Structure 1
Amino acid sequence: MSSTSAPPHLLQRMAEKKKELEHLLALRQFASRLQTHFDELSEKFEALTQGNEAVCKVLENWTDVFRTIELTENYAAVDQDQNQQRSSLVKIPII
């Protein structure tokens, strides 16, 4: 049975199905591109997340650095006070 002898409504239905197939194939291609795009975007977000975690650790360490500086300054002040007391004791003139 040739396509020219088929009833017109079947020929029209076949043409519609061919267009539908073309649209589905185009949709599959777009979906594939979209998936690739989202995969790349996911990788970039993963890199950003790792970078943020590294920055967070650095900032957490700065709290310890400032605390250490403060403790060092306090010990230096106490040590200086003790040295001044010792030096004042040593500098008493003996007559």
Structure 2
Amino acid sequence: MSSSLSPQHVLQRMADKRQELEQLLVLRQLSSHLQTHFDELSEKFEGLMQGNEAVAKVLENWADLFRTIELTENYATQDEQEQEQSSLVRIPIT
């Protein structure tokens, strides 16, 4: 049993397939734009992460600096207390 398709039916099917192809091409183009957008976004996030690392390092250095200042102040206070208790005179050398 062979079924023959009418020419109108074949033409309609071809038109449907053309329309489907056009839609697929549009989808491919939109996908390409989306990929480009995400690639650019990824680069920007990478830059932000590097910036965050730099800021974290600066903040870490500030914490070390404040600890050093505190140790220096404590040492200077101890040195002053020792000078008050000592009978030695210190002469600065320039």
TM-score range, shorter chain: 0.7 to 0.9
Runs of 4+ in 1 over 4 A off after TM superposition: none
1:60 aligns with 2:30: no
1:71 aligns with 2:71: yes
Could you tell me how far apart the structure 1 residues matched to 2:49 and 2:33 are? 24
1:24-53 CA deviation, whole Å, 9 max, x = no partner? 110010001000000000000000010111
Amino acid at match of 2:20: E
Q: Which position in structure 2 is the counterpart of 1:13?
A: 13
Q: Which position in structure 2 is the counterpart of 1:42?
A: 42
Structure number with greater CO (CA < 8 Å, separation at least 6) is: 1
**How many residue pairs align between the two structures?**
84
Structure 1 unaligned regions, length at least 5: 1-5, 91-95
1:24 aligns with 2:24: yes
Aligned-residue offset at 1:56: 1.1
Structure 2 unaligned regions, length at least 5: 1-5, 89-94
Could you tell me how far apart the structure 1 residues matched to 2:13 and 2:58 are? 66
Amino acid at match of 1:28: R
1:59-89 CA deviation, whole Å, 9 max, x = no partner? 1112211110110000100111122223xx3
The CA RMSD measured in Å over matched residues stands at 1.6
